[in-house]
Structures are given as C-alpha cells and as structure tokens.
Structure 1
Amino acid sequence: MKIRNFLVNDDEENLRLDLFICKHIQDKSRSYIQNLIEDNLVEVNHRMKKSNYKTKTGDNIKVSLPDAVELNIKGEDIKLDILYEDSDVIVVNKPQGMIVHPASGVYTGTLVNALLNHCREDLSGINGIARPGIVHRIDKDTSGILVIAKNDMSHNKLSEQLKDHSMTREYIALVEGIIKEEKGSLDKPIGRHKKDKIKMAVVEGGKRAVTHYEVIKRFKEYTLVKCILETGRTHQIRVHMCYLGHPVVGDPVYGYKKQKFNLKGQLLHAQKLGFIHPGTGTYMEFQVEVPEYFKRIIDILSNER
C-alpha cells in the first residue's frame, strides 16, 4: 500500500474531494479515485468523507493507494441464478459464499468471473476490468439479489438511484436476542473501526448510514427481522444490528463467538430489489425467498418449546 499525503492550500479551497485528489494524482481516473473514497481509503483530517466533500484550507488529506496488480480476469463456467435479463440489465440471486468481484488475492470464482462467461463483453466498463457491470455489492456470505449493468448508460442511471435512495433494498436477517420494539430506525454514521481496520463500526465522522428494521417473528432467543436500507455502507446491516445489541446470527466478524448452529456465514439475505429500468423507465421489483439453510434454522426455532 502506497500512502500519499496532501495539504490543501488557499487556492485549492472549496474543491470537491475527488477532483482535488485527481489534480494531485493525475495518472488515476476520477472513477478510480471515487472508488478509493467509497472503500474508505481516503481520510480528511483522520475522518472519512464523501466524494462531494468541499476542501478547506489546511485540510490534511491522506490517500492509501493499493499496490498495483496486473489483472487478467477471465470468464468461468459458474452457474448463475438469473431472475431477469435484457440488453440493459441482468438481475441475479447470489448464493452465500460467492464474492461479488475480484479483489486483492481473489481473482477466480467470483460473480464477475461468472458474468464474464455468461455476458462476455456485454457489461458496463465504468468500474474498470475488476468490476465490470457492478453497480452495488453484497458481502460474500450474504445471499440475495443484485442488479448488474450491461452498458454504461444503465450503470449511470442505476447509480443515480442508489445515490438518491430511490432503489428498493430489503433484507431478511436472523439476529441474536429479542428485539422488543415492533419497528425502528438507526441513523448512525459508519466508518472504519478505530482499532481493527478489517472491521467497520459506528464512529463519529463516519458516513451517514440509515437502516429501518421491522420485527417479523420472535423466537425463544432470536428475532427474525426485515431490514430496509436507505443508504448502502459497507457491512451496514451487520454493523447497525451489532450496535443495537442484536448481531446477525452466524456473523464471523460482528456476531457472537459461540454459535448454536453450524453456519458458514451470517443469516442475512437480500430478499427484495426494486429499481426504475434504465432503458424503459418502468419500475421493476424482484423478490426471492431465503435459501434452504436459512429456512432450516427458522424451522428448528419454530419447533422449539
């Protein structure tokens, strides 16, 4: 990782953060810089900021640049659960255990590898060769629905819906303990954990994160909840539920160390996704049930006395 530090001068005040960095790191594209900011690799006075943050004289800006890796991402014959596809978008149901796109140390077996085999060159190129078509992500061990852009027009329009919070994103989660309230909302900023850089946390100066939740069913020691995302921060539901005192069951990072069930990851499922089709302008909505391993746990808990 290469670290670059910059000090904002008087004549550089009131610039967008991404444009300020582009001015000083001219061999990187604006979209690349925006991805660095989204991945919490840019700090302003030791705090995370958005791309549209306006610089102030004296700001200390730290940019962490990942080591360059020569990527040769190839398509792989991996089965896709396709819910919908046309010339503009493809909607898939991602299984638990699949990483969305290649990253450091992982270049095979991802959703992108499967998409490259299925769509070949027919994917948006806005996010570069490692993330073709990827508009939004869900964690490796979270299952559920994703929409992929097959051209740049679709990518831009879908991204705008994410930014203005008009895309419907609804999750089902099984969490530890009993949530007493029928419904509630968490409006707590999320950023990199102060001591453990692998983890995210509710931190002062983090990016605004809003999660609405509603109890579906209470069990003896657990609660099944519906979570609706207003924003889309890294690990948002997992962090917010942990902050609430009810971490997602099976979560290896934010959950309890002792687990009752033999799980391979958190019981979190992106069950509903709705968006305005970038080509036709009509609203489309997709929904998939929780996977079998999730159903099995619910059945076990439903039969407990």
Structure 2
Amino acid sequence: MSEQYQVVERDQSKRIDKLLTEIVEDASRSQIQSWLKDKFVLVDGEAVKSNYKVQEGELISWSIPEPEPLEIKAEDIPIEIVYEDEDVVVVNKPSGMVVHPSAGHPSGTLVNALLFHCKDLSGINGVERPGIVHRIDKDTSGLLMVAKNDKAHRSLVEQLQNKSVERKYEAIVHGMIAHEYGTIDAPIGRDPKDRQKMAVVEGGREAVTHFRVLKHFQDFTLVECKLETGRTHQIRVHMRYINHPLAGDPKYGPRKTWGLDGQALHAKSLGFEHPRTGEWKKFEVEPPKDFTDMITFLENRE
C-alpha cells in the first residue's frame, strides 16, 4: 500500500505520528511509530523521527508492506442462532463482539464462532470475512444475516444494494426529539478533522435514516431507526448530526455516559427475501439487559 498526504494549515506543527493516526484508518500510534522507525514513512522524500513536527505544504508518503494473512481459526464461542438453513444463518450478536478478525482482533470474533458452528460459509469475502454480508459495530447488539454459500451471498448483497432488506434498530439518544417521525438524508464520509471518525460531509456517500419516537424521557428519547442505506456508523453519525447523539457512544456522544459499555444501539428487526425460496423472512429480537436496564432506570426517574 503506497499513499500520500499533503500537510495543510490545520496540521501545522503536529507530531507526524499523531497526524498519521488521524489519517491512516485502523492504524495505532505504536504501529505508525514502528513504520517511522523502519523508514516506511517519508517527508518530502526524507525519513524522519516520530516526534518530527510537520509543516504546511510538506508531502508525507508512506509505503507499508502488506500484513501477513491472518490464520482464522474456528473457536468454540457460544452464539445465539435465531435461524439457520442450508443457505443462511441469522445471528443475534452480543454487544462487545467484533464481527470479523482484523489485526487488532485476531480471535474471539463472530466469524471465529461461526466457523466452529457452521463449517461451511461463503468465500466471496475471502478467508478473513467468510459469510459476512453486512456488519454491525462491536458495541452494537442484534441481528446479522450470514451467507453459507456464494449463491446466497450474492443474493443478499444484491438485496442490500437494492435497499430491499428491512433493518430496524432501537436506540436511546440524548435530548427530547420534538418530532414523532423524521428522515435524515445526509451524505456520510470520513471526517476531515478526525480520520478515525465518520461525519456528514459534502461529497460523501448517500445515507438515509428514517426514525420514529417510541418514548420520551426527561432528557433522553427512545427511538426506532430504519436504515435505507448502510454506511459505516450511519445511525450514530446521523443522530449526532441532528444533535441527539446516542447514549453511551464513546466516539460521537458526550464523554460522560450512563454506565453503558458502548452506544445504546440494538439491531432489533431484520427482514429479507430468502435467496433460494424467495420467501420473505423476518426476525426480531429484544434488546440486551443493559439496554433494557437503562430504559427501566429512565422510567423510574420520571
């Protein structure tokens, strides 16, 4: 991977290791410091140290060797299978579980558990993401559909692209939403001020979220969100955009949270056309205990 970045005014005098953590997706500061030490990163063609302070107009280039391929192992991890047949598995993913392995999470993921449970998963996404058609964030709980063969995988991806898959989430957000219903139609892309975040940005990818209020609390609102598109962090970014960030969201919400281990977001409902039979399948699961405990707490405060 070979990439370049020209330093702009807002980056003036930042340490290069700090700047690169903002620019390079999924790279830790220690990784970047290692790249600088090994001279994989150059500034105007010259190697620099981690504490080098960049200047406006300088050209940073980096060429990082491809990582060694991960060896994905089947692991006997309990998972809740909501539905399974020869083509599809529908799983209720717990909060805190990563969907597929990566450099930072080589094991303990949903894929590791599925490989133990299923053995046969589609190979379209390669060895690191077998069967994975769509994802939800690590700290989001709820329903995911997984393909057990390539034909099913192609069908489910096509349905996602055609916006015919029905995906509904429940979320607890800060503040009192004034409208009972709403649609947020705002493009999402990488945040130019923080490359580790997504944001509503001009020129971003189309993103549409419909919401309806389920219950008002004193200073929070329980909402149902229906996805028309599926961008990274879409609900989290869109609710932040309308000034109602998710409770417990460490990335897009207030720093002080309500004792939740991650954002209060649950993929409650999932509907799709079965790839073999054409039958409409719909599944629904209740939120986990920490989510319902927070609702009870908010109700008792009223």
Q: TM-score range by the shorter chain?
A: 0.7 to 0.9
Superposed displacement of residue 117, structure 1 = 0.7
Aligned to 1:280: 277
Superposed displacement of residue 67, structure 1 = 3.0
Q: Deviations over 1:103-150 (max 9, x none)?
A: 122110000000111112x10000000000000000000000000000
Write the mapping of 1:223-262 to structure 2, written as runs, cut at 5 A: 223-259=221-257, 261-262=258-259
Instruction: Give distance in 2, aligned partners of 1:296 and 1:175.
Output: 15
Aligned partner of residue 155 in structure 1, secondary structure: helix
Aligned to 1:294: 291
Contact 1:93 1:146 in 2 (8 A): yes
Aligned to 2:167: 169
Q: Deviations over 1:16-43 (max 9, x none)?
A: xxxxxxxxxxxxxxxxxxxxxxx99xxx
Aligned to 1:12: none
Q: Deviations over 1:66-112 (max 9, x none)?
A: 83322100000000100000000000000000000011221100000
Instruction: Give distance in 2, aligned partners of 1:69 and 1:210.
Output: 37
Instruction: Give distance in 2, aligned partners of 1:95 and 1:76.
Output: 16
Aligned partner of residue 293 in structure 2, secondary structure: helix
Superposed displacement of residue 65, structure 1 = 7.9
Aligned partner of 2:145 among 136, 147, 156: 147
Instruction: Give distance in 1, aligned partners of 2:275 and 2:64.
Output: 33
Q: Deviations over 1:263-305 (max 9, x none)?
A: 1100000000000000111000000011111110100111113
Aligned to 1:188: 186
Instruction: Give distance in 1, aligned partners of 2:250 and 2:91.
Output: 25
Distance 1:65 1:202, change over 3 A: farther
5+ residue gaps, structure 1 = 6-38, 41-63
CA RMSD across the alignment: 2.0
Superposed displacement of residue 4, structure 1 = 8.0
Instruction: Please say if 1:266 is aligned against 2:237.
Output: no
Instruction: Give distance in 1, aligned partners of 2:73 and 2:110.
Output: 11
What's the TM-score once normalised by structure 1's chain length?
0.79
Aligned to 2:2: 2
Aligned to 1:73: 72
Aligned partner of residue 3 in structure 1, secondary structure: strand
Instruction: Give distance in 2, aligned partners of 1:280 and 1:102.
Output: 31
Distance 1:303 1:183, change over 3 A: same
How many residue pairs get aligned? The number is 249
- Amino acid in the other structure paired with 1:273: L
- Amino acid in the other structure paired with 2:250: P
Instruction: Give distance in 2, aligned partners of 1:271 and 1:65.
Output: 40
Instruction: Give distance in 1, aligned partners of 2:189 and 2:95.
Output: 24
Bigger drift between 98-107 and 148-157 goes to 98-107
Aligned to 2:108: 109
Q: Deviations over 1:157-192 (max 9, x none)?
A: 000000000000000000000000011001100000
- Amino acid in the other structure paired with 2:109: T
5+ residue gaps, structure 2 = 6-24, 27-62
- Amino acid in the other structure paired with 2:227: L
Aligned partner of residue 303 in structure 1, secondary structure: helix
- Amino acid in the other structure paired with 1:278: P
Contact 1:2 1:67 in 2 (8 A): no
Aligned to 1:214: 212
Distance 1:4 1:152, change over 3 A: farther
Instruction: Give distance in 2, aligned partners of 1:170 and 1:65.
Output: 39
Instruction: Give distance in 2, aligned partners of 1:66 and 1:96.
Output: 33
- Amino acid in the other structure paired with 1:182: E
Aligned to 2:84: 85
Contact 1:75 1:117 in 2 (8 A): yes
Distance 1:185 1:66, change over 3 A: farther
Distance 1:181 1:189, change over 3 A: same
